[in-house]
Chains A and B, each alone.
Chain A
Amino acid sequence: MNVKVLFRKDLKELIVSKKMLILLGVFVFFALSGPLSAKFEPELMKAYSSKLGPGSIINVPAPVYTDAYKDTFNNLKQAGIIVVILLVCSTIVDEKRNGTAAFLLTKGLSRSSFLLSKIASRVLIFTLACGAASFVCILYTFIIFGEFSIPNLYLAFLLYWIYGVFIICVSILVSVLARTFTQAFFAGFVAYFVISLLNMVPYLNRYLPGRLNTIMSDILSEKTLPDHWTIPLGITLLLSILSVLLSQRIFKEQEL
């Protein structure tokens, strides 16, 4: 069966439903607001301290260009990922409830192809959003600060992309399991909460996907890469693949 046809349809649907525009808009907004807030936050703080009255002193260090990346990544890691969950967790459950999944699957399309097309289209728009955000963030940081280069900056963006792909795969799994959009939405956030919570467990957190966020922060603080940083990376990729396989397995057994 022609998976390419379905993939093209899924992409077009993401454009028509404005999901792609929303994701791009949010990511580019964060990429612009990061350098801006890094530049002007100290001045705002100074202005605020002068209003506190005599004797009130707030010491704010002078902004540096790495702060722009830190602010951008902080927004992308939290609000950006929440937007991704919101946009992805309804993917399968919507098609099941609308009856469009049954419509497609009676055309001889395999359930695996159906699922893979959904994942691939979501990963593609996430990649575009990440690419646009990276470009805008680097360019705007350079315009504002006159500097932009950090060792391993590309790696920070890559790690964020891998973390985002992992979140997409988990959201798809949740969407396969859920029966309603509310269930999917709720379960998606529970999954995100659990992933974030596990990152606080000592020792174990060194090997989990949440560790990628810490590595990103280290890169942006120009610290050296931690030892064995590839282990959480490998585990995240493995968990992403397992999520896809599990989604596939469950979806194959589901009645529509």
Chain B
Amino acid sequence: MSYILETGQLCKKFGAFTAVNNITVKVPALSVYGILGANGAGKTTTLKMLCGLSRPTSGSIRIDGEELQFGKTHDSRLGFVPDVPQYYKWMKPRELMLFVGNLHHKQGPSLTSRIDELLHKVGLEGCNQKIGSLSRGMKQRLGIAQALISEPTILVLDEPTSALDPIGRSEVMDLIRSLAGELTVLLSSHNLHDVEEICDRILMMDQGRVIADDSLLSIKSQFALNTLELQTEDMYLLQSAASLLSGHSEVLEVEILEDKQSLSISVVNLRAAQIYIPSMMSSAGIPLSLFKVTEPTLEQFFLKMVTAR
């Protein structure tokens, strides 16, 4: 596997406070890599170091194999969009795109067609308003478009949906999803749902440290909850099933979820339970309308990891 971005023992201290503590990460090329953590976990500081805006106290950063030095950015290889993008309010989107393109030594018809393509992609092709009057969602989409002008290999997004309403969030998420496979996307978020929705690899941070770094699938399989969900036709049957299962030696906990009219069952062995529970229900004459393994959510995993620390 080739890695587009690597950090080695990356550390950032502000006086006695350690914001980022010995982070070693390898970001595979063309992945959508999510940095997940609560506020103050060190996500933004990490991204700022990756973009050359903050000097690491120690450690190294390599982009495409080349060592990154503070104050020097990898001009066209890295596109950065901050959490609340601020551009020149007096410019119009097309004007900003042209300015950014010119900064990257791009001009002429190729730049014009690239701008048209990107503005179309982010849904701002007909926008003739000044940036100062754009909504946050539009600014975020414009931020992504301007970051793509130079055709970067990595797009770094710092909490891209944090300041957006549900519609703006959905638009930005769709946009990020559409970029998957075209370039490496590195995004930070404290929104577990966002990360779970679009990232194929996740770095979890807490208090400046990495608490997990793996693919979403692997994280979920490592964290098997051993929980099943069961539904019957009515509450009477559900209660009968609950009392039946409570007496089983391999069942750890049975909980009636009244809002869903279902049972949540924690078991010792998930595979065995998938066999004996339907069998018990069948013997007791309780028809099942739903029986499934409960998939652990990233939120449950994150909370477990943080609590364990």
Tell me the A residues contacting B by CB distance below 8 Å: 1-2, 5-6, 9, 13, 16-17, 98-100, 102-111, 252-253, 255-256
Complex Cα–Cα for A252 and B79 (A): 21
Nearest chain-B residue to A106 (Cβ)? B80
* Contact B71 A252, beta carbon cutoff 8 Å: yes
List the 7 shortest-distance A-B pairs measured between CB atoms, nearest first: A108-B75, A99-B86, A106-B80, A5-B102, A16-B90, A256-B53, A255-B54
* Contact B85 A103, beta carbon cutoff 8 Å: yes
CB distance from A222 to the nearest CB of B (A): 47
Question: Which of A13, A108, A110 touches B76 (beta carbons < 8 Å)?
Answer: A108
Complex Cα–Cα for A253 and B54 (A): 9
Known contacts A5-B102, A255-B53: does B90 contact A107 (CB below 8 Å)?
no
A-B contact count (CB 8 A): 69
Complex Cα–Cα for A110 and B73 (A): 8
Known contacts A100-B86, A106-B73: does B80 contact A5 (CB below 8 Å)?
no
Complex Cα–Cα for A252 and B52 (A): 11
CB distance from A104 to the nearest CB of B (A): 8
Q: Which residues of B contact A255 (CB under 8 A)?
A: 48, 53-55
Instruction: Judge if B99 is at the interface, Cβ distance under 8 Å.
Output: yes
Q: Which residues of A contact B84 (CB under 8 A)?
A: 99
* Contact A17 B76, beta carbon cutoff 8 Å: no
Instruction: Judge if B74 is at the interface, Cβ distance under 8 Å.
Output: yes
CB distance from A158 to the nearest CB of B (A): 34
Instruction: Judge if B122 is at the interface, Cβ distance under 8 Å.
Output: no
Given contacts A1-B75, A102-B80, 7 further A-B contacts (CB under 8 A): A99-B86, A100-B87, A102-B51, A105-B52, A108-B74, A255-B54, A256-B53
CB distance from B171 to the nearest CB of A (A): 21
Question: Which of B73, B76, B88, B100 touches A105 (beta carbons < 8 Å)?
Answer: B73
Question: Which of B51, B79, B86 touches A98 (beta carbons < 8 Å)?
Answer: B86
Q: Which residues of B contact A5 (CB under 8 A)?
A: 99, 102-103
Q: Which residues of B contact A2 (CB under 8 A)?
A: 102-103, 105
Complex Cα–Cα for A17 and B88 (A): 11
CB distance from A95 to the nearest CB of B (A): 10
Nearest chain-A residue to B54 (Cβ)? A255
* Contact A17 B90, beta carbon cutoff 8 Å: yes
Known contacts A5-B103, A255-B48: does B86 contact A103 (CB below 8 Å)?
yes
Complex Cα–Cα for A103 and B103 (A): 12
Complex Cα–Cα for A16 and B53 (A): 28
Nearest chain-A residue to B100 (Cβ)? A107
Q: Which residues of B contact A98 (CB under 8 A)?
A: 86
Interface centre among B80, B84, B103, B104 (most CB of A within 10 A): B103
* Contact A106 B78, beta carbon cutoff 8 Å: yes
Instruction: Judge if B278 is at the interface, Cβ distance under 8 Å.
Output: no
Complex Cα–Cα for A13 and B131 (A): 14
Complex Cα–Cα for A105 and B55 (A): 14
Instruction: Judge if B82 is at the interface, Cβ distance under 8 Å.
Output: yes
25 A–B contacts, CB within 8 A, in A order: A2-B103, A2-B105, A5-B99, A5-B102, A9-B99, A13-B90, A16-B90, A17-B90, A99-B84, A100-B86, A100-B87, A102-B51, A102-B80, A103-B86, A105-B53, A105-B73, A106-B51, A106-B53, A106-B73, A107-B75, A107-B100, A107-B103, A108-B73, A110-B72, A255-B53
Complex Cα–Cα for A222 and B87 (A): 52
Nearest chain-A residue to B150 (Cβ)? A107
Question: Which of A13, A100, A102, A107 touches B104 (beta carbons < 8 Å)?
Answer: A107
Q: Which residues of A contact B82 (CB under 8 A)?
A: 99, 102-103
Question: Which of B74, B88, B105 touches A13 (beta carbons < 8 Å)?
Answer: B88
Q: Which residues of B contact A108 (CB under 8 A)?
A: 73-76, 103-104
Complex Cα–Cα for A256 and B75 (A): 17
Complex Cα–Cα for A155 and B53 (A): 44
Q: Which residues of B contact A106 (CB under 8 A)?
A: 51-53, 73, 78-80
Complex Cα–Cα for A1 and B51 (A): 17
Q: Which residues of A contact B102 (CB under 8 A)?
A: 2, 5
Complex Cα–Cα for A107 and B74 (A): 8
Complex Cα–Cα for A89 and B75 (A): 29
A-facing residues in B33-56 (Cβ within 8 Å):
48, 51-55
* Contact B85 A99, beta carbon cutoff 8 Å: yes
Q: Which residues of B contact A104 (CB under 8 A)?
A: 103
Complex Cα–Cα for A146 and B78 (A): 64
